[in-house]
Structure 1
Amino acid sequence: MDESLSSLFPLYELPSEDEGADPETALEEPQDPGLQDVDPDTGRMYVGLAGLPRQVHQSCMAKGFDLTLMVVGESGLGKSTLVNSLFLVDLYKDRLLPSASENVTQTMSITRKTAAIEEKGIRLRLTVVDTPGFGDALDNRESRMQASDYIKEQFEAYRRDETALNRRNIHDNRVHCCLYFISPFGHGLKPLDVACMKSLQDMVNLVPVVAKADSLTKAELLAKKARILKDIASHKIKIFQFLCEDEEEFWPSDLELQNSIPFAVIGGNATMESNDKCYLARVYPWGAVNVESPANSDFSLLRRMLVTNHMQAMKDFTHHTLYENYRVKVHQRSHKPARRPIANKDQWTLPNSSLPSRRPPVPRSPSPSGVKKVNRSPSRQRPHTPQGPRVRLCPAALQALPPQRPLLHP
């Protein structure tokens, strides 16, 4: 009996009775790589959908990632130093700092720096858009709009590439996040800050940052953050939200990030070692400040938000919400019917004398004596035609009018 079963089912092995095996687990199924697992809840075999994230992971690893970051703020707030500290790069090797006299006459400009970063096999193409000269001039009405105009130009360039015939090599230079640097000196937001943030709020993920947090005490820093949040709420400025639309409450890590807005940061590129651990520090003549310590600044929270937790969320929100809103507005403007302008209104107006007037009344002879005058019924009375208002006709309609004939009086 055992030999016949083994000849029919060569993959199964029947244990002998001396081994004392359990008869329920005597027959084992063959090990199929795709169907070897069973869902304990439904009892159905797995199809293999668990391998889809691995496929997406392999595709993303092959293509790499990209991030476009814009930094906006006054000169001297440490924008370049903070970017170098966040991504451990040196993007401003050949930068020349202008003198004080040049800062007065300097106008705002847009500069782009690109760096390729690789960490544990993951490649990132980082593009930093800087705004040197912002807020340095006496008249800053134009500088507050240059940043928003640049973002619109990138949206328009992407829209043209997207609607072109060849869409294989589309260059996506849209700005995914904007770090707006707020000066630690003063009370709350300046009028320039309010105007610039309101011009950027509908086109980019706006993240407010308090620069040079080590120049304030802890009490002053908390009061500064509270005043900035009050100004943001009073002016109805939209900033990046960590709570998604389909979520009802914050994750614990996101709740910590939300409570830290605006991020109080310190930039430093010096590397120091303490207790066999390396950390970034800002060195002064009287000592050094640990940049990555949560007790000193929110640098680690900003890096976690920008790189670790919410980089893809910012890119998705930029593509599916901000860019789509811009594309819909452009589509509506292009399909809106334009009004036909009137060159000269005088030649479109006719005087009343050129219009056919109503028939003049016919003079009647007085009735002879003894003849009774018969009044017509209201239904048989001749209707009164009032003189119409002035009519506006175009020159083409004037030429199409038939020639007027003289009225013959009976």
Structure 2
Amino acid sequence: MTEEIRADSYVGFDSITNQIEHKLLKRGFQFNVMVVGQTGLGKSTLVNTIFASHLIDSKGRFASDEPVRQTTEIQALSHVIVENGVKLRLNIVDTPGYGDQVNNDNCWDPIVKYIKDQHSAYLRKELTAMRDRFIQDTRIHCCLYFINPTGHSLRAIDITVMKKLSEVVNVVPVIAKSDSLTFDEREAFKQKIREELIYHNIRLYPFDTDENDEEETALNESIRNIIPFAVVGSERQVIIDGRPVRGRKNRWGVVNVEDSTHCEFMHLRNFLTRTHLQDLIETTALIHYEAFRSKQLLALKEGVNARPAADRPQ
């Protein structure tokens, strides 16, 4: 047992937190987000709204003469955002074509493969003899899964894909364009989704671990009571009470995106950027990547042991 001793006079090692902060600020932070959902659910608009920047162009298939994508494509965009001296390298991975076919069997395979490929690339860099001091991290830290605001229940494809994705990445479900539902419809829909997630044993982020203190456990529980986030995204400014806010105007009135009584966008943004950003990164490394790494190294070991003794590396 280690005894805790208080120094008789000031030594200065408590400044280590400032030293760490200085180094981290100098290096910057990496955050990789994947968005999955059908065309037309506002994926690009929501990401742009969250980070208050025009990061993705809305290039959904809206023209009737434009051909339907035959497969799910993977498109990665990189940006550097600076806020109060903090530099965030943001990778946004879009999945155009997902769920847009008449037959969507296995449309999730390219998405799962992409996530695993990033784990594999990171593992290869880790195992090289002359590895980089700081390995470029392209592992997906968060997957925003967009649910169609039907107001009824999850589709079979939603259940299958969220189950597949939750095994390899932190999945955060959102109800897209939730202003198409009344408040009563929205709450009933959210409750139905939560029941289906439990019934199908789909384990979504955030997770509770033994390392969490009471405050973190309570915060995670409050998040789980909100999930799925019912959101509205908008890059446009509308005037409410004489001041410009991001919102959507229709014939019934104005939806203020940043008003938590209108939608849960603010809860989602605070969750992603202000309370759980670092935990999303750490969970990716300590849970999803570690599970992948262990499986790969065990397979490698078994492969070596299966070879004749003379062919094994010495």
**Which of 148, 172, 175 is residue 137 of structure 2 equivalent to?**
172
Residue 336 of structure 1 aligns to a residue in which SS?
Answer: helix
1:7-44 CA distance string (max 9 Å, x none): xxxxxxxxxxxxxxxxxxxxxxxxxxxxxxxxxx9573
Partner in structure 2 of residue 236 of structure 1: 201
Residue 91 of structure 1 aligns to a residue whose secondary structure is coil
Cα distance, 1:143–1:259 mapped onto 2, change above 3 Å: same
Letter in 2 for 1:173: T
Q: Deviations over 1:303-348 (max 9, x none)?
A: 11100111101111111221111011011112225879xxxxxxxx
After superposition, what is the alpha-carbon deviation per residue over 1:250-299, rounded to whole angstroms, capped at 9, x for unaligned? Answer: 55654432321110000101123545754211233664310010111110
1:54 maps to what in 2? 18
TM-score, normalised by the number of residues in structure 1: 0.68
Distance 1:219 1:94 in 2: 30
How far apart are 1:118 and its partner, in Å?
A: 0.8
CA distance in 1, matches of 2:280, 2:286: 10
AA aligned opposite 2:98: F
- Root-mean-square deviation (CA, aligned residues, Å) is 2.3
The answer to whether the Cα contact below 8 Å between 1:268 and 1:280 also exists between their aligned partners in 2 is: yes
Paired residue for 2:162? 197
Secondary structure of 2:31's aligned partner: strand
Q: Distance in 1 between matches of 2:154 and 2:60?
A: 29
Q: Which secondary structure state, in structure 2, belongs to the residue aligned with residue 335 of structure 1?
A: helix
> Does structure 2 conserve the Cα–Cα contact (< 8 Å) formed by 1:103 and 1:137?
no
Aligned to 1:141: 105
User: For the structure 1 residues 241 and 253, does the alpha-carbon distance in structure 2 shift closer, same or farther, using more than 3 Å as the test?
Assistant: closer
Matched, 1:132 2:91: no
Structure with the bigger percentage of helix: 2
Residues 118-161 of structure 1 deviation map (CA, whole Å, 9 limit, x = unaligned): 11111111111011111111221231221111001101111111
Identity over aligned pairs, percent: 37
Q: Cα offset for 1:84? A: 0.5
Letter in 2 for 1:110: I
Whichever residue aligns with residue 67 of structure 1, its letter is F
Q: State the alpha-carbon separation in 2 of the partners of residues 222 and 100 from structure 1.
A: 34
Contact map agreement 2:174 2:228 (CA 8 A) in 1: yes
Residues in 2 aligned to 1:65 and 1:223: alpha-carbon distance in whole angstroms = 38
User: 2:232 aligns to what SS in structure 1?
Assistant: coil
Which residue in 2 is equivalent to 1:333?
299
- The aligned residue for residue 317 of structure 1 is 283
The one of 86, 107, 122 equivalent to 2:71 is: 107
How much does 1:188 deviate? 1.8
Tell me the CA shift for residue 100 of structure 1. 3.9
Count of residue correspondences: 300
Larger Rg over CA atoms: 1
Does 65-74 or 244-253 show the bigger shift?
244-253
Task: Return 5+ residue gaps in structure 2 as ranges.
Answer: 308-314
Shift of 1:89: 1.6
Unpaired segments ≥5 residues, structure 1: 1-40, 341-410
Instruction: Compare relative contact order (CA 8 Å, sep 6+) and give the higher one, 1 or 2.
Output: 2
